[in-house]
Structure 1
Amino acid sequence: MTAPPLRIAGLHAGYVPGHPILRGVDLVAEAGRITVVLGPNGAGKSTLLKVVAGFLAPLRGSVMLGDDDIGALPAHRHVALGIGLLPQGRSTFPDLTVEENIELGGWSMRNDRRRLAEAVEAVLTRYPHLRALRRRAAGSLSGGQQRAVEIARMLVPDPRVLLVDEPSVGLSPIVARQVYQELQALRAEGRTILLVDQDVRAAIAVADYVYVLGSGRNDIEGDRSAFEGDLGAMVRGWLGV
């Protein structure tokens, strides 16, 4: 897989006019790498992903996917360009089956049933444990199983760029480790991965490069080795203790 880099420059964005959350963020996420964004609550991490996913338009600045500025494009165009989003928290539809939830990831293929069926089959082949659950209501699954359904749904259109928001929230440590292992496998396929996380230690363990945001601006950045020291001091600094 040949994935394009994601380059963000001078990004301003927010929800209320005159009160931007992001205030000039710069970031580069390269193919075949996991780029991690850290920071305290309110730093703008999830807002950044919303902009890259197309759910929030920039006020200023650029969002470049390869040579294309995608900042002004709506979310469905971002999907068509190969961007997938794993949102924070549970996002399965509990009354739909596992297979129906996964099929929703191929909404852009809804008018080509054969192509959609082939894409869903490819994902179920990748995650055979979900095949046995395909007729089960998603709401009857464990939290870890539902997260696997969400990952499978994201992968139906075979995105080249993955936006991952707090992947381990609400999961047991064992299941969380499995999620991070899968992110590493996806990185090995050459995908561009932008990961936002509050689990600082787990995120840095899989990171190739780390950005820390503070109050909507770049604070510090560096490769993983620069952040493997006293993580506790970093978190205490965020909390002001």
Structure 2
Amino acid sequence: MTAPTLRMTSLVAGYIPAHPVLRGVDVTARAGRITVVLGPNGAGKSTLLKVAAGFLAPQQGTVMLDGTDIGQLPAHRHIALGVGLLPQGRSTFPDLTVYENIELGGWSMRSDRKRLAAAVEAVLTRYPHLRALCDRPAGSLSGGQQRAVEIARMLVPDPKVLLVDEPSVGLSPIVARQVYQELQALKAEGRTILLVDQDVRAAVAVADYVYVLGSGRNDIEGDRSAFEGDLGAMVRGWLGV
């Protein structure tokens, strides 16, 4: 798999024009690597992913997918260009079946039912444990099973760039480890992964490169080895203790 580099430069973005959340952020995520963004609540981590996914246009700065600026394109164009988002928290539709939830990941293929069915089948082949659950309402599943459905849904269009927001939130430690193992497997396929998580220790453990944001700006950055020994002090600093 040949995945593009996602490069965000001098990003200014937010929800109220006069009060941006991101204030000149620079982040680069490269193919075959897990790039992690850390920071306290309110630092702008999820906002960064919304911009990368096309749900929020930057007020200033660029979002480059290799040589193409995609910053002003809507979310469905980002998907067509191979960018997928795993959103924070539960995002399954509880009254729809597991199959229907997964199928929604191929919404852009809805006019080509044969292609859509093949894409869903490929995902179910990858995650055979979901096949037995296909007829069940997604809301009847455990949190870990619903997370698996969300990952499967994201992969239906076979994105090359994965934006992952808080993948372990609300999950047991065992299930969270399984999610991180799957992210490492996706990395091994050569995909570009940009990961945000409040579980600092787990995120750093799988990271190739780490950015830390503070108040919507770049604070520090470096390879994983630069962060492994000082995680406790970092988090205490965020909490002011």
- What is the alpha-carbon distance in structure 1 between the residues aligned to residue 228 and residue 14 of structure 2? 32
Alignment correspondent of 1:189: 189
What amino acid maps onto 2:34 in structure 1?
I
SS at match of 2:133: coil
Residue 17 of structure 1: CA displacement?
1.7
Structure 1, gaps ≥5 residues long: none
SS at match of 1:222: strand
Alignment correspondent of 1:4: 4
Structure 2, gaps ≥5 residues long: none
Cα deviation 1:185-226 (Å, max 9, x = unaligned):
000000000000100000000000000000000000000000
Q: How does 1:66-105 map to 2 (within 5 A)?
A: 66-105=66-105
SS at match of 2:193: strand
The number of equivalent residue pairs is: 241
- What is the alpha-carbon distance in structure 1 between the residues aligned to residue 192 and residue 17 of structure 2? 32
- What is the alpha-carbon distance in structure 2 between the residues aligned to residue 52 and residue 27 of structure 1? 10
Q: CA RMSD in A?
A: 0.4
Alignment correspondent of 1:122: 122
Residue 54 of structure 2 is aligned to residue 54 of structure 1: yes
Instruction: State the TM-score, normalized to the length of structure 2.
Output: 1.00
SS at match of 2:111: coil
Q: How does 1:213-224 map to 2 (within 5 A)?
A: 213-224=213-224
- What is the alpha-carbon distance in structure 1 between the residues aligned to residue 215 and residue 14 of structure 2? 12
Alignment correspondent of 1:178: 178
Residue 25 of structure 2 is aligned to residue 25 of structure 1: yes
Instruction: State the TM-score, normalized to the length of structure 1.
Output: 1.00
- What is the alpha-carbon distance in structure 2 between the residues aligned to residue 46 and residue 52 of structure 1? 10
Alignment correspondent of 1:113: 113
Residue 93 of structure 1: CA displacement?
0.3
Residue 230 of structure 1: CA displacement?
2.3
Residue 137 of structure 2 is aligned to residue 137 of structure 1: yes
What amino acid maps onto 2:39 in structure 1?
G
What amino acid maps onto 2:33 in structure 1?
R
- What is the alpha-carbon distance in structure 2 between the residues aligned to residue 15 and residue 230 of structure 1? 33
SS at match of 2:104: helix
- What is the alpha-carbon distance in structure 1 between the residues aligned to residue 192 and residue 83 of structure 2? 9
